[in-house]
Copies of this chain bind each other. A is one copy, B any other.
Amino acid sequence: MGEADAHREKKARIKAAKDRLYASKTREKGLLIVHTGTGKGKSTAAFGLVLRTLGHGRRVGIVQFVKGRRTTGERMFLERFPELVTLRVMGEGFTWETQDRARDIRAARAAFDEARRMLRDPELHLLLLDELNIVLRYDYLPLDEVLEALERRRPDLHVVVTGRNAPEELIARADLVTEMKLVKHPFREGVKAQLGIEY
């Protein structure tokens, strides 16, 4: 093969590679996103995605699997947009204080039934399953069932799953995984939970 042929062949190879890259970069699909790790910012970054999505006028579904305080800034804010946000908070039972595993499992199941419905909702652009990892960690729902429901979601729906200790199998199936790593935390320095920051 002459030098000119080699050069042409190399150029063709580069062009083919570029074409493949370009084609792949324009693929549209709903992402499965996981925010895990022991640092702050897992749910907070998910609420940042919610804000971003609302900015585009798209609809958001939220299922909160761990019941926290009622008057969080995010909840008060999102309740102002009932036409764009569907927010479900898991029932009374699931507060980590009940010591009643059967009741917690019923609450997890009811919340996941809501999530399952939203996974197929044609109106949503983003679904946040807040603290679902915690529920999985405690084996309140079968992992296989959850993974299958995520897999079978509407193909262009973005889903964010938050909570520490994300199962390996979930990470393996996710498109985008961020670990929030604690570098420094104010509770360790003696500052109490602050409005607008922690809640």
Instruction: Please give the residue numbers on chain A whose beta carbons come within 8 Å of chain B beta carbons, in ascending order.
Output: 21, 24-29, 31, 33-37, 39-41, 43-56, 58, 72-78, 125-126, 158, 171, 174-187, 189-192, 194-197, 199
Of all chain B residues, the one with the shortest Cβ separation from A198 is: B52
Tell me if A52 and B28 are in contact (CB < 8 A). Answer: no
Q: Known contacts A179-B183, A183-B177: does B31 contact A194 (CB below 8 Å)? A: yes
15 contacts across the A-B interface (CB closer than 8 A): A31-B186, A31-B197, A41-B41, A41-B45, A44-B52, A45-B45, A48-B50, A51-B73, A55-B77, A56-B73, A125-B196, A158-B197, A171-B184, A175-B184, A176-B185
- Pairwise interchain contact A76-B56, C-beta atoms closer than 8 A: yes
Residues of B within 8 A of A182 (CB): 177-178
Which B residues lie within 8 Å of A36 (CB)?
183
Q: How far is the CA of A192 from the CA of B50 in the complex (A)?
A: 19
**What is the chain B residue whose CB lies nearest that of A47?**
B48
Within the complex, the shortest CB–CB distance from A163 to chain B, in Å, comes to: 14
